[in-house]
Structure 1
Amino acid sequence: MVHVAVDAEQSFQRAKSLPLAFTAGAAVGVLGGMIGLGGAEFRLPLLIGLFGFAALSAVILNKAMSLAVVLAALPARMAAVSAPELAAHWPVAANLLAGSLLGAWAGAAWAVRMRSATLYKVLAVLMVLMAAALVATHTTALGTLVLPVGVQILIGVATGFGIGVVAAIMGVAGGELLIPTIVLLFAVDIKTAGSLSLLVSLPTMLVAFARYSRDGSFAVLRANLRFVVVMAGGSVAGAVLGGVLLGVIPDLVLIPVLAAILVFSAVKLSSHGGR
């Protein structure tokens, strides 16, 4: 609760840096948009390192902004992939949601109970995981696993649970993990997988958000509402611009740079937790 009090005291100073918040959010949105994702994993270290939020507070704010970005992205995705196409794949979404909803609740519950130093280290490890997933997804050809239906369902639930945990603890939508999972496990094309990932992400994020709302740390969202709205607005605007720039920089150049940013951020978060 000490960190929440500190965040509340600093909210006035952060309110004066709203232009920086919009700019930082836009930069994150552009990075995410250029690879077809929301980019929340890049926003988290900025909330901690640039704006001085404690780990749990940063996760909660990141979750709120990720939710806003996902809601803004849904209409565009629905236009790109028709409702009947998505409806044909409802068992995929249901399979992953069976695990991700439980994982989101569990992940948020674990996050609010962790010591701050432990949470920093966990976030650092997850940042490296995201970097590895980013490289694997964008530099290798995604095949398809041929599995018996029963095994496929069990793996889908287990994988969904893990993704729900990661998304809740980092405050991200989880598309970085959901999209390759949908392609590999269910043989869905990557364009449709992107839309399905949003349909899985949205209820998963709402569950994590509901769990966080039961903790006293959730007050950081009310104390910094203007900051959140401005940074989320920047993230949405940046994501649109990033989508326009999609493919301008070759993946062989862009992906290693983004992965390096994530690893560097992980190192900084880890050292932050040791203070």
Structure 2
Amino acid sequence: MSRCSRTSLGLIAGLLIGALGGLIGLGGAEFRLPVLVGMFRLPTLEAVILNKAMSLVVVAAALVFRAKAISLDQQLAHIDVSLNLLAGSLVGAWWAAGHAIKMSRLWLDRCIMVLLAGLAIVMLSEAWFDLHNGSAPIFPDSTTQFLAGVLAGVGIGIVAALLGVAGGELLIPTIVLLYGLDVKLAGSLSLTVSLPTMLVGFARYTRSDAFLVLHHEQTLFLSMVAGSILGAAIGGLLLGLLPTNLLLTLLGLILLISALKTFQHRH
């Protein structure tokens, strides 16, 4: 595939993924990873690192975009929630990224396939069981809530590091259900947790030779980032045009199928 074709496809893929993610309030990194591996034929670890770099830029942009909807004061009022989850997610991200570097590509593919399939099931569950509408915390006891937050953070950090994603698909329902917060506020808080978590995983990946993919694939990186940000903005403007539960169901099925097709028989 020529560089011009890769650039054009990267822009289009980023645009479509960003728009679909924007329609349901996500960055779309879960969908970028199968595209990077399946369409652009990147090795798995290199695709994860490139996806992580893209996610960092998209999340930073999303924080700026959401500043008007959810003020900084509102986020600071719930800084304890972010710190609680970060206590686990930073550890999980550091551990997972370190193991991903040493893991055989076959086992890395298997882990990624299972995690992407798990995210697809979470997405389908959100559509069918309306997990975004929690009203009261699951654990009224603060100590139990804190421990649950740390454990949830560890799991989310592991997923974020291994897939190169922000983890919003897991963070938002966790914040809503575990702390009983509004879904819009949860969306902004998830970004404040995602950014440091991704930075820790990203720093860990700098020790791998695969990190050179950022130099080799600069053009693809820039085109997909531009497309993702533009697509997310378009998706945000079209928010509410289609029923969220229907979109979640369709995207969950697409993610499940693409994960199985991309990683099941990859060697």
**Into which bin does the TM-score normalised by the smaller protein fall?**
over 0.9
Question: Which of 7, 17, 20 in structure 2 is aligned with 1:31?
Answer: 20
Alignment-derived partner of residue 201 in structure 2: 208
Counterpart CA distance in 2 for 1:16 and 1:258 is: 26
| Alignment match, 1:272 | 265
After TM superposition, list the pairs within 5 Å mapping 1:134-213 onto structure 2. Answer: 134-142=123-131, 143=134, 144-213=137-206
Tell me how far apart the structure 1 counterparts of residues 181 and 215 of structure 2 sit (CA, whole Å).
40
Counterpart-to-counterpart distance in 2, 1:14 and 1:25: 16
Is 1:258 aligned to 2:248, yes or no?
no
Q: Is the 8 A contact 2:127 2:249 kept in 1?
A: no
Displacement after TM superposition at 1:270 (Å): 3.1
The answer on 1:246 being equivalent to 2:235 is no
CA distances 1:74-106 after superposition (whole Å, capped 9, x unpaired)? 112111111111111000000000000111111
Once residues 231 and 248 of structure 1 are traced to their aligned partners in structure 2, the CA distance between those partners, rounded to angstroms, is 25
SS in 2 for 1:188: coil
Shift of 1:16: 4.3
TM-score (norm 2): 0.95
Aligned pair partner of 1:218 in 195, 211, 219 = 211
Structure 2 CA distance for aligned equivalents of residues 140 and 164 of structure 1:
24
Q: Residue 139 of structure 1 contacts residue 251 of structure 1 at CA under 8 Å; is this kept in 2?
A: no
Q: Distance in 2 between matches of 1:14 and 1:125?
A: 32
Which structure 1 segments of 5+ residues have no match? 1-9
Partners of 2:30 and 2:198 lie apart in 1 by 14
SS at match of 1:17: helix
Q: Which residue number corresponds to residue 85 of structure 1?
A: 74
* Alpha-carbon distance, 1:175 to partner: 0.4
| Aligned amino acid, residue 249 of structure 1 | L
Which structure 2 segments of 5+ residues have no match?
none
Q: CA RMSD in A?
A: 1.3
Q: Give the secondary-structure state (helix, strand or coil) at the position aligned to 1:74.
A: helix
Structure 2 distance, partners of 1:243, 1:214, is 36
Q: State the partner residue of 1:4.
A: none
Q: Give the equivalent residue in structure 2 for 1:70.
A: 59
Q: State the identity as a percent.
A: 50
Cα distance, 1:15 vs. partner?
5.3
Distance of 1:117 and 1:272 partners within structure 2: 9
Structure 1, 256-265 or 45-54: larger mean CA deviation:
256-265
Amino acid in structure 2 at the alignment position of 1:52? R
Q: Which moved more, 1:144-153 or 1:46-55?
A: 144-153
Report the residue type matching 2:254 in the other structure: I
Give the Å deviation of 1:138: 3.4
Q: Distance in 2 between matches of 1:203 and 1:262?
A: 26
Distance 2:242 2:93 in 1: 34
